[in-house]
Amino acid sequence: MIKIKNKLGKTRVYSKKLKTKIVLNEKFVSKKLNINEKISVYGGLRFKNLFKNTIKNKPLISIIMPNFKCLGLEKAIQSVLRQNYDNLELIVIDGNSGARTIKILKSYDNDIDIWISENDKGMWDAWNKGFQLANGDYVGIVDSSNILYSNSIKILVKYINMYQKYDFICGAVKKDNKIYAGFRPKDIKRQFNIIPSSIVGFFIKLESLKKVGLLNITYKYSSDYDLLYRIIIKNKMKGIATKGDEIFGNLGDSGFSANHNFLLKLINEIRIRFNNGQSLFNLIYIIIGRFIMKASRIISIKKNSQK
């Protein structure tokens, strides 16, 4: 076991061998980075034969950081490096953002476990690349526009140790100066926003994720919700929420799906639900309900503007 301090003075634990996890009936395999020297730029500690593995009483936490031309990348990296927990790995998947990003990534070459910059098929593809490279007991997404609070992984590990039979942890998150917390699995057949967020606050056992499979990248929007549906409904996995004051981090300006119009989001949601076997009756109920809610909001806005 090798202990090394990172750029921000936090100790991390390494070994000279990578011990990958094999799961029975897994739907994807952990693998080494596929590198095309002509189109890929890459680096990190794994290329220096320094690896992270599970340690007794210290589960390994894998953090995947997708990025595409985000100005907050360095702050997001630093928020992970600042964690007060010594057994976590950081994997950065960049969609060929250019020279500025490469310069930042190279400056953290002795702190990031693995990073790659190359063209990809979008955000969900970047998530999938990261999942396949992860070696943690638990894995989660922290986008390059997010900030992870310094004690969030310690809180996560506390819950992992308390609820060892559970498959995932839902941490509270901050967005637009509001705190979002809780977990409502019974509502998933009517609405998707049953967890605070699929990034920053959501961590799942890698073993459980391998049984569920990767994101379906044919969904342009809400592929993370499709994954959540498969986790909870199709695989009947269990999760637990942290307390409302145990906040994992700030989402910043994240929210890919939230930035698209009502009709596109609704069509995509119905497609996901249909492909996951929800009944036609339930789908019609959801469509009618969404339009009624949309009309109510428009009327309310108009009334408030007239006051």
- pLDDT recorded at residue 91: 98
Q: How far is residue 264's CA from residue 260's CA, in Å, rounded to a whole number?
A: 7
CA distances from 241 to 135, 154, 295 (A): 24, 15, 32
String of b and e for 145-173 (b: at least 16 CB within 10 Å)?
A: bbbbbbbbbebbbebbeeeeebbbbbbbb
For 156-201, write each residue's pLDDT tens digit.
999 999 999 999 999 999 998 899 999 999 999 988 889 999 999 9
Q: Judge whether 14 and 87 are in contact, CB under 8 Å.
A: no
Please state, rounded to an integer, the average pLDDT across all residues of the chain.
Answer: 92
For 227-277, write each residue's pLDDT tens digit.
999 999 999 999 999 999 999 999 986 555 455 688 888 998 999 999 999
- pLDDT recorded at residue 23: 87
Average pLDDT over every residue of 59-85: 97
CATH class of 2-260: alpha beta
Position 116 pLDDT exceeds 90: yes
The string of DSSP codes covering 87-113 is SEEEEEEE----HHHHHHHHHTTTT-S
Position 75 pLDDT exceeds 80: yes
For 3-23, write each residue's pLDDT tens digit.
999 999 999 999 999 888 778
The region of weakest confidence among 35-44, 71-80, 114-123 is 35-44
- pLDDT recorded at residue 200: 96
Q: How far is residue 174's CA from residue 200's CA, in Å, rounded to a whole number?
A: 10
- pLDDT recorded at residue 31: 80
- pLDDT recorded at residue 4: 94
